[in-house]
Amino acid sequence: MEKLIITAAISGAEVTKEHNPAVPYTVEECVREAGSAIRAGASIIHLHVRKDDGTPTQDKDRFKTVMDAIHAQYPDVIIQPSTGGAVGMTNDERLQPTELNPEMATLDCGTLNFGGDEIFENTENTIKYFGEKMIERGIKPELEVFDKSMIDMALRLGEKGFIKSPMHFDFVMGVNGGISGTLRDFIFMRGSIPADATYTVAGIGRFEFPLAAAAIIDGGHVRVGFEDNTMISRGVVAESNGQLVAKVVRLANEFGRKIATPAEAREILGLTKK
């Protein structure tokens, strides 16, 4: 079976130090958390950045500072900035990190309820606009799909030339407003993507490790990290993103799945190091 790509979503935009004091805000904290994940086995860092007070921002300069600081210590790692940002941001605000020409970036494939009164808005035209920008800038999108309908949207826009194949999906499962994190729905999602596509799965909260195990067995890839889940086990706050990644590595070892280095992850995903 193909080696396992582990993505660490170290920061997110919604989770705070009240959830887990190790959630990174400052540049130094981002380097510390990325480093813990990379040393444990992550080959991709999915990145959101914050101001020092924790406010989410898509500021290009802040992304550049954090990405440069991580790459200064871990030059090989793949850094995948978010273009989702935080609920309520404008499209152009969200797209700023793509101006840095990263190898990858996320592309969110639909609108969904995002807790309380929040709506994470991604209209069809927004998705087309983001897809075009990524093609123009040579960026491989990680297609964030929070529901099966978003896979269908990606496939439709792929046929129209807004997203290239082979596609790489991230099944984000268990968000309040998206598809559930059950095994039944995981099988539905993974059975709904093209044969030449790759996928990773991001289980939210308590779904993180059961879905990681399912993807390990199935030959898919895994995303973990504070963005999705801050607990190492029921009622126990994780010490670091690295501790979450290490748990995935242990599960992979049990099932005989080897862990991909960043160079191997690039090969699997068809990326060229920039």
33 is a contact residue toward ligand KMH (CB under 6 A) = no
Identify whether 56 is preceded by a cis peptide bond (ω within 30 of 0).
no
98 is a contact residue toward ligand KMH (CB under 6 A) = no
Which pair of tokens denotes residue 125? 């035209």
Q: Is the dihedral of CA 88, 91, 94, 96 positive or negative?
A: negative
122 is a contact residue toward Zn ion (CB under 5 A) = no
240 is a contact residue toward Zn ion (CB under 5 A) = no
Which pair of tokens denotes residue 128? 């087309």
Site string for ligand KMH, 51-90 (x = CB under 6 A): -------------------------------xxx-xx---
φ, ψ of residue 60 to 5 degrees: the values are -60, -40
Among Zn ion, ligand KMH, none, residue 131 binds (CB under 5-8 Å by kind): none
| Alpha-carbon gap, residue 266 to 218, rounded angstroms | 20
Smallest gap from Cβ 258 to Zn ion, in A, equals 26
| Alpha-carbon gap, residue 253 to 178, rounded angstroms | 31
**DSSP 8-state secondary structure symbol assigned to residue 259:** B
**DSSP 8-state secondary structure symbol assigned to residue 17:** T
Q: Which residue is nearest to Zn ion (CB)?
A: 82
| Alpha-carbon gap, residue 81 to 58, rounded angstroms | 9
Nearer to Zn ion, 4 or 8 (CB): 8
With CB under 5 A, what is the number of residues at the site for Zn ion? Answer: 1
Smallest gap from Cβ 256 to ligand KMH, in A, equals 31
Residue span binding Zn ion (CB under 5 A) among the ranges 75-83, 97-105, 111-119, 170-178: 75-83
Residues engaged in binding ligand KMH (CB under 6 A): 13-14, 82-84, 86-87, 106, 108, 114, 120, 144
